[in-house]
């Protein structure tokens, strides 16, 4: 059942190669129709001098919107999550508030944000909503991770509610907070891209929607590929961050 | 005497009303605040109905033209439900295949990790272009979006066995199939239920985004039609309904999860 490390790595690499090979062959032969380009055709489009600058600036502005939304979203989420602990009467209401915010379809908020906040801010706003929910779930579950005896000990030693929060609950919550950030990063990227659908001046979302409507297949897949790379690298960075926190706190 | 009884009855009535009011306020002040802010925002900024209608106008629209929304809501409900069921089914099936064959598992797992970080909702246009405009695409999109959490959580659940239980099954001479049905699958049930709770509300939103982008049918079409025709009442009415549908899916999935958990552990 159990496999050794190198064996696992070999199989994993082989799996990736098979996947990419299958994609290449399916796209090259066109079995699935014209809308499935080969992997090399997509990569060629992305690095083609005609499109390269467009892709670069789109990549940059989407990453920047997503990052701003991510930071805004996780700060708001941590404030709300802290409020559920420090001001217990507010807890139930905050839970329902976040669940409701999460279930509002972004596509109906998009047009409103465009008119009220503007075309540049909309992707950031949508990204922050996406990030906030994932982060809120992670933080609230982390804040309840501290054990009751530890709470009792600090209370006996005369710690106030605030001190208990800062010295016990917050440190105990860090692993879960890192977990929440790991989920919030892809969510904020999705939010930024959807926010761009509604007419942002630039970005991967803009390329995706205009390529969809203009039947520019490789452009569409190229933007999708770049969005995936962005998501993967954010996920990778945060995984490293999470590991380091786990080492420090466990 | 009767007067005294009657007054205590009204007292009780008032107390009951007060208590339930307090209960509702305690739980739903966030949602109420959201509606109040929405109203305040619209009236302070003086937005007209084309930009953003006040909540009262949307509520009025939903009550007066209720029959207009029942059909689209039913369509969205069905498409989301079929997609959710399909995604859960394929996710669990692939996890079981991986459990049976470590080689297949080794081949697929890293790729699944990569594919999991594909921003799927943002990829809906790619799927639409590749599969075609139509109802099937809505269901396929929903299946793909619910598939990943189901697959990942079920796969970890199948491996997360109680200590030594696998050895016990070996000693008792259980075959692979026995181990799957009597040990691994039951052990994975809590994880599968978590996947259901996570994906149920998302399945509704995924279906709506796909309907919105293609303008196919369901609540997504109502939203896009309302936006095009500057009938924001209609768009927001549909948005509120899809919100409600998503919350209903979530509540339903949570109650299944709680029941299952109680039954299983």
Report the percentage of chain A scoring pLDDT > 90.
9
Best of B25, B30, B210 to disrupt the A interface (most A CBs within 10 Å) is B30
A75: pLDDT confidence band, cut at 50, 70 and 90? very high
A33: pLDDT confidence band, cut at 50, 70 and 90? low
Mean pLDDT for the stretch of residues B75-87? 93
B84 or A38, which is more confident:
B84
A34: pLDDT confidence band, cut at 50, 70 and 90? low
Q: Token pair for residue B102? A: 């470590």
Domain count, chain A: 1
CB A134 within 8 Å of CB A187: yes
Closest-CA residue of B relative to A89 is B26
**Exposure of B181 in the CB half-sphere (CA atoms within 13 A):** 4
The answer, for A224 touching chain B at a CB cutoff of 8 Å, is yes
pLDDT score at B5: 56
Report the percentage of chain A scoring pLDDT > 70.
95
Contact B106/A97, CB-based, under 8 Å? no
Nearest to A70 by CA among A231, A186, A151, A166: A186
A28 or B247, which is more confident:
B247
pLDDT score at B50: 74
* Res A141 pLDDT > 90: no
SS3 per residue for chain A: CCCCHHHHHHHHHHHHHHHHHHHHHHHHHCCCCCCCCCHHHHHHHHHCHHHHHHHHHHHHHHHHHHHHHHHHHHHHHHHHHHHHHHCHHHHHHHHHHHHHHHHCCHHHHHHHHHHHCCCCHHHHHHHHHHHHHHHHHHHHHHHCCCCHHHHHHHHHCCCCHHHHHHHHHHHHHHHHHHHHHHHHHHHHHHHHHHHHHCCCCCCHHHHHHHHHHHCCHHHHHHHHHHHHHHHHHHHHHHHHHHHHHHHHHC
**Number of residues written out for chain B:** 265
Best of A15, A83, A90, A108 to disrupt the B interface (most B CBs within 10 Å) is A108
**How far away is chain A from the Cα of B107, in angstroms, using its nearest Cα?**
4
Q: Is residue A179 part of a domain?
A: yes
Option in B119, B129, B235 nearest A220 (CB) = B129
Q: Is residue A169 part of a domain?
A: yes
Q: At how many degrees (to 10) do helices A39-47 and A49-86 cross?
A: 100
pLDDT score at B89: 94
pLDDT in tens, A101-126: 877 877 778 877 887 888 888 899 99
Q: Is residue A9 part of a domain?
A: no
* Res A211 pLDDT > 90: no
State how far the Cα of A83 lies from the Cα of A143, in Å rounded to an integer: 11
The answer, for A140 touching chain B at a CB cutoff of 8 Å, is no
The answer, for A4 touching chain B at a CB cutoff of 8 Å, is no
Q: Which residues contact A15 (CB under 8 A, 6 or more apart)?
A: B106, B107, B108, B109, B110, B111
* Res B129 pLDDT > 60: yes
pLDDT in tens, B163-193: 777 777 777 777 777 777 777 777 778 888 8
pLDDT score at B81: 94
Q: Is residue A163 part of a domain?
A: yes
pLDDT score at B6: 58
Option in A18, A101, A205 nearest B122 (CB) = A205
Using CB atoms within 10 A of its CB, is residue B212 exposed (0-12), middle (13-18) or buried (19+)? buried
CB A120 within 8 Å of CB A61: no
pLDDT score at B3: 53
State how far the Cα of A157 lies from the Cα of A13, in Å rounded to an integer: 55
* Res B259 pLDDT > 80: yes
The answer, for A201 touching chain B at a CB cutoff of 8 Å, is no
Collapse the DSSP code of A77 into the 3-class scheme (helix H, G, I; strand E, B; otherwise coil) and give the result: helix
pLDDT score at A180: 84
Of the listed ranges A78-82, B40-44, B138-142, the least confidently predicted one is B40-44
What is the Cα A195 distance to its own chain's centre? 14
Domain that holds residue A101: 39-249
* Res A198 pLDDT > 50: yes
Nearest to A55 by CA among A182, A223, A206, A180: A223
Option in A19, A100, A108 nearest B223 (CB) = A108
Q: Whole-number mean pLDDT of chain A?
A: 82
CATH label of the domain that carries residue A147: 1.10.3720.10
**How far away is chain A from the Cα of B168, in angstroms, using its nearest Cα?**
16
* Res A99 pLDDT > 50: yes
Closest-CA residue of A relative to B251 is A99
Q: Is residue A223 part of a domain?
A: yes
Q: Is residue A240 part of a domain?
A: yes
A74: pLDDT confidence band, cut at 50, 70 and 90? very high
Q: Token pair for residue B131? A: 């599969």
pLDDT in tens, A143-191: 877 777 888 888 888 778 788 888 788 888 888 888 888 888 888 998 8
CB A73 within 8 Å of CB A128: yes
Cα distances (Å, whole numbers) of residue B205 to B124, B163, B194: 12, 39, 18
pLDDT score at A2: 47
**58-117 in chain A: CB under 8 A from chain B:** 89-90, 92-109, 111-112, 115-116
pLDDT score at A1: 42
ipTM metric: 0.75
State how far the Cα of A242 lies from the Cα of A249, in Å rounded to an integer: 10
Contact B213/A227, CB-based, under 8 Å? no
The answer, for A211 touching chain B at a CB cutoff of 8 Å, is yes
**76-135 in chain B: CB under 8 A from chain A:** 102-103, 106-111, 114, 117-123, 125-126, 128-131
């Amino acid at each position: 059942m159990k496999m050794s490390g190198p064996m696992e790595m070999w199989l994993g690499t082989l799996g990736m190669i098979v996947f990419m090979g299958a994609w290449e062959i399916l796209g090259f032969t066109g079995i699935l129709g014209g809308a499935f380009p080969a992997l090399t055709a997509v990569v060629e489009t992305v690095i083609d001098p005609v499109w390269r600058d467009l892709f670069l600036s789109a990549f940059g502005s989407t990453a920047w919107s997503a990052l701003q939304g991510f930071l805004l979203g996780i700060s708001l989420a941590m404030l709300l999550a802290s409020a559920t602990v420090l001001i217990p009467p507010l807890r139930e209401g905050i839970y329902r508030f976040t669940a409701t915010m999460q279930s509002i379809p972004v596509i109906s908020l998009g047009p409103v944000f465009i008119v009220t906040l503007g075309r540049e801010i909309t992707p950031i706003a949508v990204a922050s909503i996406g990030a906030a929910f994932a982060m809120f779930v992670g933080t609230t579950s982390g804040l309840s991770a501290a054990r009751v005896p530890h709470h009792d000990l600090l209370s006996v030693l005369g710690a106030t509610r605030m001190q208990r929060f800062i010295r016990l609950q917050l440190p105990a919550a860090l692993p879960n907070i890192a977990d929440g950030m790991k989920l919030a990063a892809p969510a904020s990227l999705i939010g930024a891209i959807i926010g761009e659908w509604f007419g942002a001046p630039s970005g991967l979302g803009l390329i995706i929607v205009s390529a969809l409507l203009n039947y520019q297949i490789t452009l569409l897949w190229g933007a999708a590929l770049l969005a995936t790379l962005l998501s993967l690298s954010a996920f990778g960075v945060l995984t490293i961050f999470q590991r380091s926190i786990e080492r420090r706190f466990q | 005497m009767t007067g005294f009884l009657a007054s205590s009855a009204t007292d009780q009535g008032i107390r009951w009303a007060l208590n339930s009011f307090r209960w509702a306020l305690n739980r739903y002040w966030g949602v109420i605040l959201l509606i109040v802010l929405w109203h305040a925002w619209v009236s302070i900024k003086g937005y007209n109905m084309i930009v953003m209608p006040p909540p009262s106008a949307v509520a009025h629209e939903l009550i007066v033209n209720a029959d207009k929304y029942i059909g689209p809501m039913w369509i969205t409900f069905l498409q989301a439900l079929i997609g959710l069921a399909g995604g859960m089914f394929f996710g669990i099936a692939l996890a079981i295949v991986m459990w049976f064959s470590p080689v297949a598992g080794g081949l697929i797992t890293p790729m699944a990790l990569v594919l999991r970080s594909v921003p799927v909702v943002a990829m809906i246009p790619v799927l639409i272009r590749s599969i075609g405009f139509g109802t099937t695409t809505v269901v396929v999109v929903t299946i793909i979006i619910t598939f990943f959490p189901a697959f990942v959580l079920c796969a970890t659940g199948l491996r997360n066995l109680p200590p030594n239980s696998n050895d016990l099954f070996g000693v008792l001479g259980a075959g692979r199939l026995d181990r799957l049905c009597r040990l691994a699958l039951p052990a994975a049930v809590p994880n599968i239920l978590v996947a259901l709770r996570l994906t149920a509300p998302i399945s509704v939103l995924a279906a709506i985004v796909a309907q919105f982008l293609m303008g196919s049918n369901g609540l997504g079409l109502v939203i896009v039609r309302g936006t095009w025709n500057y009938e924001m009442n209609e768009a927001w009415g549909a948005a509120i309904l899809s919100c409600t549908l998503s919350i209903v899916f979530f509540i339903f999935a949570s109650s299944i999860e709680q029941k299952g958990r109680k039954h299983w552990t």
